[in-house]
Amino acid sequence: MQKDKTTREILAPAGSIEQLIAAVNNGCDSVYLGLDSFNARMKAPNFTTENIGQWIDYCHLFGVKVYVAINTSLKNNEFAKAVKLLETVYLNNADGVIVTDLALMRIASRLSKPFDVVASTQLNAHDSFGAKFLSDCGATTVVCARESSIEEIRDIVSTGVNVECFIHGATCVCQSGQCLFSAMVGGNSGNRGLCAQPCRKLYSANGENFGYLLSARDLCGLDIARRLSENGVTTFKIEGRNRRAEYAGITSRVYKQLFDNGFEYRRSDTDALAEMYNRSMSTLSYLDGDNKDIIAPNVQNHVGVKVGTVKGKGFVAEREVVKGDGLKVFHGDTEVCGGLCLGDGTGFVSADFSGVVSDGMEVRRTTSVSLCKDILDKKKLLSVRIEFEAYSNERAVLKANCNGVEVTVNSDFVVPKAEKVPTLKAEITNQLQKTGNSHYTISDIMVNIGEIFLAKSQINGLRRLLFETLDKAIVQAYNKQFCNRQSKNNRLDYIIQQATNSQLNEMLEATDDVPKHKQMPCENTLAVVCHTQEELAQARNIAQIVIYKPCMIDKQSIADADKYDAFIDLPSFSDNIYLYDLMLNNPVGIVCHNVGHVGLARSLNLPYIAGSGLNIYNDYIANEFSDAKTFVYSLELTLSEIAQFSNKSGLIFVDGDVALMKLVHCPYKLNYNCNCSNCKASKQLIYKDELGNIFTIVRRKDGRCSFELINGLKLSVVSKITSGGRFLIDYNPEIVAHYSALNSGIQDGYVESKPYTKGRLFNKVN
């Protein structure tokens, strides 16, 4: 459902029941949450299929929308379960669903409206090419890639979709949707909600410059909210489903006040956000194309707000503290230890420090007892007008009106006439004002009675019945817009019960206006990735598919690719406007790593390969790229899982360098303290973790720079694969010869002599 472009929706995290309640009570307009499967925050408490309806109703009571995340990569054997989960969400009256799987998005889009279909940030839409593609797949809202500039956001807005941007919380150092780090090093896939955050560990650069070189700062959007709003963003998303309930509450409150106050805020707002959680907060520097400050190399986690300095067995408090406040002590930028405040007030306050401290060290508060209490004690109340009537020998009548919703309840007893002392209006009014644990505050009470007698318990019972009835009526009034959802034509269960794989594929076929290129035949195929003209010339004589991956995408590299009939591999965070202009009169096949690339290929009618960045996890996603020459199976799939595909025409990456992360910030600026005018990208840059593992930084450039974090061990499975197939490899003369022989039925006995990893081809990810 298209939103009014003047509206501003604060979308808060609800990773738990407690988070949801805190967010609603402190002013959010909507919440997003996950169930106990297929959501990108599987480590959060989350919700269940049994209780989701109850909490959706709770939100709707206050007019708060609910978006349910079904936003992980889905394997073939999981797809039907995900569709069933979508049906559960839909029938429980969720306002929308957040999805990553393109096929699931297409199914969700066919459900009766209103039902928002939100394209997750994992789909990496950072321009109109990506936004149009997702809109064609059925998305009503597109979550911008977190790396998008203000011009790119404006470009997405121009497509007519609703636009959602992150406004606060943790940010990923990796380009949205392009991270394989956690999956490759430990088997816990961030694309499946189980990221182990290897990016938050210590690294060194070229053997020195130790720090958290891949740990991104937290985003604080107080200073950019106005710009985003003025440029068409309608939904402002707060990250943090794994954080505590108070975090959801304070962020909801501060940003609600920010919008209500014309984007004006106080220092106390900034402090409140920082005290609840911050990893060295900053504004979203990507908006202006400046990404040098997104890394916080000196900190890994919550740093709080300065409240004083160490003195003796306590500290001198510069601002009001409370007994029980959580503390951290810093020496410069280095965290020394934690602590607990043992007193109240300002001036000298005793504290219990967990480590050795020295006078003058900085004391920061990381948990404020009073702020947490204020957030959790906040209660959102609905204003209601009540009318009470009671006359002898009749049933008492109690009416309520809340924002236009009216209900009436009658007593289950006949009101007796007063024999001695009648019940007074004031007594009845006093009892009706006692709203207790209800969600209401009384704005007006009208009492009309005769000479009657009522016990307080009778009045209280009638009041409780009224509020229970009003709760249901308000929720029913909200959910009335969803009344068509129960009809058989809008249900999904028959798809699970009746559809075969081929029927699902038929239902999910791409629209007729998508140009169709003939797919490669499903015969043994060797696809080779080359980096130089010399490699192109040699690979062209052996490989059936040649891919050119130059450091620079320009006219020369386009000409080189064309000369050797090669597909040119595009950087994942490409400048697609630059590429459009470059390829408009110089058409060449391209390897697409995000939905914007596919939109670019289709707009120019270019042949394309659906590359590894598209993370093709199941047959249904592969079907979305039926016009591609071929596609690459997700690098997170095992050979066994790939064998379960009905579509056998994809390529399996079996040998070469694995890009664990695609980076948009410049690691050279971070480590060499340089800028674009004195670029150091020609220098070698190698990161090493605490275990001695090596990772190489490689720059790629089109209209702008982006970077890849390459695993120090190449991928190789030559010892495991003994028959031909459809293989994708990086150029290496010996490897090319080996797989070429294998595809010809020849066993050449080749053995890999260099250290290598088998990736996930034999060990599935979680």
Q: Characterise 243 by phi-psi region: left (phi > 0), alpha (psi -120 to 50), beta (else).
A: beta
CA distances from 116 to 108, 110, 156, 165, 477 (A): 9, 11, 17, 16, 19
Give φ, ψ of 192 to 5 degrees.
Answer: -120, 20
What is the helix (H) or strand (E) element at residue 458, kind and residue range? helix 456-479
What strands lie across the sheet with 203-205, from one edge to the other?
A: 208-211, 203-205, 686-689, 694-701, 705-711, 659-663
Contacts 24+ apart (CB under 8 A), 502-506: 502/646, 504/79, 504/620, 505/619, 505/620, 505/623, 505/646
At residue 415, what are phi and psi to the nearest 5 degrees? Answer: -75, 125
Residue 693: per-residue pLDDT: 96
Give the pLDDT score at 474. 98
What is residue 110's predicted lDDT score, i.e. its pLDDT?
87
Burial 487-514 (b: 16+ CB within 10 A, else e): eeebebeebeeebeeeebbeebebeeee
Give pLDDT, residue 274: 95
Q: Which helix (H) or strand (E) holds 88?
A: helix 79-91
DSSP 3-state helix, strand, coil percentages of the chain (rounded to 5)?
30, 25, 40
Give the rounded distance of the alpha carbon of 233 from its chain centre. 16
C-alpha dist (Å) from residue 524 to 134, 282, 726, 745: 33, 51, 5, 10
Distance CA 676, CA 679 (A): 5
pLDDT score for 283: 76
Q: Which helix (H) or strand (E) holds 619?
A: helix 619-624
What pLDDT is stored for residue 496 in this prediction?
45
Structure tokens at 250: 């304070």
Give alpha helix (H) positions in 480-554: 493-498, 501-507, 533-540
CA triple 204-206-212, angle to 5 deg:
20
Close Cβ partners of 494 (under 8 Å, ≥ 6 residues apart) = 488
Q: Residues in the chain with pLDDT < 70?
A: 1-6, 284-285, 487-521
Strands 590-592, 567-569: pairing kind: parallel
Q: What is the pLDDT of residue 288?
A: 76
Distance CA 510, CA 506 (A): 9
Joined tokens for residue 43: 């480590």
Amino acid at 113: K
pLDDT of res. 355: 96
Q: Give the closest residue to 175 by CA, choosing from 135, 204, 134, 216.
A: 216
CA-closest candidate to residue 555, choices 528, 538, 571, 578: 578
Its sign, for the CA torsion 120, 123, 129, 133, is negative
The CA distance from 149 to 86, in Å, is 32
Residue 591: φ, ψ to 5°: -100, 120
**Measuring CA to CA, how many Å separate 253 from each of 25, 95, 163?**
9, 22, 22
Question: Which two structure tokens, joined as six digits, stand for 404?
Answer: 């236009």
* Radius of gyration in angstroms for the set of CA atoms belonging to the chain, rounded to a whole number: 30
Query: Angle formed by the axes of helices 555-563 and 576-584, to 10°?
Result: 60
What whole-number distance in Å separates Cα of residue 324 and Cα of residue 373? 12
Q: How many residues does the chain have?
A: 766
Q: Is the peptide bond before 114 cis (omega within 30 degrees of 0)?
A: yes
Q: How many CB atoms lie within 10 A of CB 757?
A: 16
Residue 258 tokens read as: 């920010």
Q: CA-CA distance, 200 to 475, in Å (whole number)?
A: 43
Grouping H, G, I as helix, E, B as strand and the rest as coil, residue 494 is: helix
Q: Which residues of 142-152 are buried (b: 16+ CB within 10 A; e: fewer)?
A: bbbbbbbbbeb
What pLDDT does 700 receive? 96
End-to-end CA distance of the chain: 35
The tens digit of pLDDT for each residue in 481-526 reads: 998 887 666 666 654 444 444 445 555 544 334 444 445 457 999 9
**Residue 46 burial class via C-beta count within 10 angstroms: exposed 0-12, middle 13-18, buried 19 and up:** buried
Q: DSSP code of 144? A: B
Q: Which runs of consecutive H residues, i.e. helices, occur in 162-244? A: 181-186, 225-230
User: Distance between CA atoms of 584 and 595, rounded to whole angstroms?
Assistant: 19
Task: Find, among 69, 291, 11, 277, the residue nearest to 174 by Cα.
Answer: 291
3-state secondary structure of 32: strand
pTM of this structure: 0.94
